[in-house]
Amino acid sequence: MISPADVARSDDHPRFDFLLNRCKGMPRLPMAIIHPCDALSLEGALAARAAGLIEPWLFGPVRRIALLAETLGLDLSSVVIRDVPDARAAIVAAAAAARRGEIGALMKGDVHTDDFLHGVLDRELGFRRDRRISHAFAIDTPAYSHPLIVSDGAIHIQPGLEEKREICQNAIDLARAIGIEQRRVAVLAAVETVHASMPATVHAAALSVMGRRGQIVGAEVDGPLALDNAISPASVQAKHLDHRVGGRANILIVPDLESGNILVKTLTLMSRGIAAGIVLGASLPIALTSRADTRAARVASAALAVLTADMPSLRE
């Protein structure tokens, strides 16, 4: 049996406890694990169960899952398994289970992100709502004194201004759900001044104005800010900047998917961070893990799903 302590020790980095602690006392969330046919996704699902977060429902080829569990020494005797041949069929079956009220969240298993997103974003399956869907990472790293939310590094390739406004609002609502009380949004660019030839700076300035005029609510929003000016008080002081967000940001809105992807992987691979990923704005929480994610990252992603499952602003 995997214990919560084992989950923390497995990565020598128990700092995601802030999520687990916030979930204490909450009921386990029935979660569909889509195609858990590799060691990391199967172990991650059972670790999230051991941590008291979810009741995993495994959707995939039952013989393959059973053989994998036997190889890993895992007990599936009390776990619901729905036998479907492949990842696409697993998504369709999970959608039907969600309509019946059997499950309340999804987690990606051993399936390519593009294929997974193509399936869950299919309007006919019912996961999409009128609200724009976006993705966010909640990252805990020893390199920074508190959790960081980074968005969007998985869905919107080159978002326009209106897309960024909704990405920003989704990220703020996520921050509220996980207990960040003073929400400070830095809209990132390469520099902290506006240049017409650099669209990221123009978008950042517009989002900052939107924040002041109530088009984005629930946080202070400022930009453009370079990354050092967003998170380093020393950098803000050295550059003689006067920002309420600068040096203290806990939400980072990136210019595009590529920059977000690079930033998150840098924080996890080079700064010993744990990145929990979730899709926001769907009809239920969707934990979007990487196939290379550690057990701890999968547990943290499950915790995000638990904390956002009943938040109306993320479901509308």
| Sequential DSSP letters for 36-85 | --SHHHHHHHHHHHHTTSEEEEEEE-HHHHHHHHHHHT---TTSEEEE-S
The single residue listed with the structure tokens 């390519």 is 112
d(CA 149, CA 277): 10
Looking at every residue in the chain, the average pLDDT score rounds to: 89
What are the C-alpha distances in Å from 33 to residues 21, 36, 68, 98, 251?
23, 6, 15, 12, 28
What whole-number percentage of the chain has pLDDT above 70? 93
Q: Which of 89, 83, 105, 87 is nearest to 35 (CA)?
A: 87
> Residue range 222-231: average pLDDT?
94
d(CA 32, CA 54): 10
pLDDT digits (tens, 9 = 90+) for 20-32: 888 999 999 999 9
pLDDT level of residue 16 (50, 70, 90 thresholds) = confident
Compute, in degrees rounded to 10, the torsion defined by CA atoms 251, 253, 259, 263: 0
CATH class of 1-131+281-316: alpha beta
CB atoms within 10 A of CB 214: 7
pLDDT digits (tens, 9 = 90+) for 139-158: 988 878 788 999 999 999 99
In this structure, the strands spanning 251-253 and 148-151 are: parallel
Three-state DSSP state, 197: coil
Is the pLDDT assigned to residue 112 strictly greater than 60? yes
> Residue range 130-136: average pLDDT?
88
d(CA 156, CA 257): 6
Residues β-bridged to residue 263? none
> Residue range 39-55: average pLDDT?
94
What are the C-alpha distances in Å from 222 to residues 148, 176, 181, 262?
16, 18, 17, 22
The single residue listed with the structure tokens 């609502």 is 173
Is the pLDDT assigned to residue 314 strictly greater than 70? no
- Residue 316 is predicted with a pLDDT of 58
Q: Is the model's pTM score more than 0.95?
A: no
> Residue range 280-295: average pLDDT?
84
> Residue range 75-94: average pLDDT?
93
Write down the CATH superfamily of domain 134-276. Isopropylmalate Dehydrogenase (3.40.718.10)
> Residue range 75-86: average pLDDT?
94
The residue among 126 and 280 whose pLDDT is bigger is 280
- Residue 224 is predicted with a pLDDT of 95
Query: Which strands make up the sheet holding 148-151, listed edge to edge?
Result: 80-83, 54-60, 29-34, 105-108, 286-287, 274-280, 134-140, 148-151, 251-253, 184-188, 220-225
What are the C-alpha distances in Å from 305 to residues 29, 65, 242, 290, 299?
8, 23, 36, 15, 10
> Residue range 205-216: average pLDDT?
97
Is the pLDDT assigned to residue 167 strictly greater than 60? yes
- Residue 109 is predicted with a pLDDT of 92
The count of residues in the chain is: 316
The residue among 238 and 186 whose pLDDT is bigger is 186
Is the pLDDT assigned to residue 88 strictly greater than 80? yes
Q: What are the extents of the domains in the chain?
A: 1-131+281-316, 134-276
- Residue 176 is predicted with a pLDDT of 94
> Residue range 205-214: average pLDDT?
96
d(CA 194, CA 202): 6
User: Do residues 170 and 130 lie in contact, with contact meaning Cβ atoms separated by under 8 Å?
Assistant: no
> Residue range 160-189: average pLDDT?
95
DSSP 122-172: -GGGT---SSPPEEEEEEE-TTSSS-EEEE-SSS-SS--HHHHHHHHHHHH
- For residue 31, give the amino acid letter: M
